């Protein structure tokens, strides 16, 4: 896994982004609920340790903060739909909590000793945010916002100066908590990526599995405009069962891996390729017309035919051919209908003697 996958989500697939946003939304909802309960529940502690005048101000601040946090609970459901909602919700949460921190410390401005719970609030906030699987870049932004808010609060409450002997200790602790938060967030992001890949990739060829491919097909169909068709290619290895019977399953696996590698070499990163079934492969070409898809499918067929696959057990080689059905889809084409037409085109290629490409007009 490359560092850029930790740094930003710009290189993540749209499917994974939606899954990660869904995870963040659920954890964000529980985090908000925990904060509402915790901030309100701390009133009992304030009643026990604070004098009446101090308590009168702070219990109101806690209740107001709880009321301000409450709309974030239904907002968390919108986070699943769009990344911008997620970002806005997180910054709104930060703003409310940092405002509460400022009001709380401001209430002790007359030399009243500050309970350790109020001094530790920014650190507690960073610890809670570590529960969210966020990229490093976003975690750094959160840390900068918290540190600047603490510096601004200290500057405002300490007679507009930062000449405070305890300030360096607070900044050092905030930096330590921030780095820990970012490290934990990146670790969770990696775990989520690993789980996603294990659940959406074919373990042998490392291409997409059928489930993810169908989601991608639906997304491409939805995104294609009126004048932007897409091409779907359904591939099937010819006489693959006989190959397994004659040469063994290890040889069959070697053939599948070789064909998958050739598919990626021919179509490149712009294509969406998957192992659709046992010896079937699917290739989706966004913004591609039928004639272009047929040419690329023919290029793949010739490449596979010209590259014998060497046995993993000895020096013997087997020749492999494939048949392909190609169909063009549009925004108003039902996914099931496009798949049916591709299957019909593949059947026609098989009936013509295999090792050929047939397009559905």
In CATH, what is the architecture of 210-359?
A: 2-Layer Sandwich (3.30)
Q: Taking every pair of C-alpha atoms in the chain, what is the biggest distance, in angstroms?
A: 92
Provide the residue ranges of all domains of the chain, joining segments of one domain with +. 3-200, 210-359
- Backbone φ and ψ for 158, nearest 5 degrees, come out as -105, 50
Residue 160 has pLDDT above 60, yes or no: no
Averaged pLDDT, 321-335 = 92
End-to-end Cα distance, the chain = 42
- Backbone φ and ψ for 275, nearest 5 degrees, come out as -90, 110
Q: Is 279 exposed, middle or buried (0-12, 13-18, 19+ CB in 10 A)?
A: buried
pLDDT tens for each residue of 94-113: 999 999 999 988 888 776 67
Residue 323 has pLDDT above 90, yes or no: yes
Burial 245-270 (b: 16+ CB within 10 A, else e): eebeeebbebbbbbbbebbeebbeee
**Integer Cα distance of 357 and 352 in angstroms:** 10
Task: Give the rounded percent of residues in the chain with a pLDDT score beyond 90.
Answer: 59
Contact 58, 46 (CB under 8 A): yes
Averaged pLDDT, 191-220 = 92
- Prediction pTM value: 0.80
pLDDT of res. 320? 94
C-alpha torsion angle, residues 122, 128, 134, 136 (rounded to 10): 40
Cα of 62 vs its chain's centroid, Å: 35
Element (H, E) at 163: none
Provide the 8-state DSSP code for 324: E
For residues 349 and 114, the model is more confident at 349
3-state secondary structure (DSSP) of residue 308: coil
Beta bridge partners of 283: 233, 273
| Tokens 């969210």, located at residue | 132
Provide the 8-state DSSP code for 164: -
């Amino acid at each position: 896994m490359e560092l850029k996958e930790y740094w930003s989500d710009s290189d993540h697939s749209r499917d994974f982004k939606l899954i990660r946003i869904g995870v963040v939304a659920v954890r964000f909802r529980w985090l908000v609920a925990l904060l509402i309960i915790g901030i309100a529940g701390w009133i009992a502690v304030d009643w026990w340790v604070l004098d009446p005048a101090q308590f009168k101000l702070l219990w109101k601040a806690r209740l107001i903060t709880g009321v301000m946090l409450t709309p974030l609970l239904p907002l968390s459901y919108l986070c699943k739909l769009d990344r911008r909602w997620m970002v806005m919700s997180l910054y709104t949460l930060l703003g409310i909590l940092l405002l509460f921190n400022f009001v709380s410390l401001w209430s002790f401005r007359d030399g009243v000793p500050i309970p350790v719970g109020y001094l530790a609030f920014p650190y507690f906030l960073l610890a809670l945010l570590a529960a969210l699987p966020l990229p490093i870049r976003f975690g750094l932004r959160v840390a900068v916002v918290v540190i600047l808010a603490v510096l601004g609060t200290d500057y405002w409450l300490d007679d507009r100066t930062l000449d405070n002997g305890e300030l360096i200790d607070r900044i050092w602790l905030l930096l330590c908590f921030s780095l820990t938060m970012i490290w934990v967030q990146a670790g969770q992001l990696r775990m989520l990526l690993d789980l996603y890949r294990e659940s959406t990739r074919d373990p042998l060829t490392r291409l997409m599995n059928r489930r993810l491919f169908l989601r991608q097909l639906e997304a491409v169909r939805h995104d294609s405009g009126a004048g932007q068709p897409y091409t779907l290619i359904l591939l099937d290895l010819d006489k693959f069962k006989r190959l397994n019977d004659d040469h063994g399953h290890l040889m069959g696996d070697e053939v599948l891996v070789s064909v998958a590698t050739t598919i990626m070499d021919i179509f490149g990163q712009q294509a969406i390729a998957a192992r659709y079934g046992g010896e079937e492969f699917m290739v989706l070409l966004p913004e591609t017309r039928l004639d272009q898809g047929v040419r690329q499918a023919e290029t793949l067929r010739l490449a596979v035919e010209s590259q014998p696959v060497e046995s993993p057990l000895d020096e013997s080689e087997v020749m492999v051919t494939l048949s392909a059905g190609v169909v063009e889809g549009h925004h108003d084409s039902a996914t099931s209908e496009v798949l049916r037409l591709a299957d019909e085109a593949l059947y026609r290629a098989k009936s013509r003697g295999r090792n050929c490409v047939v397009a559905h007009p």
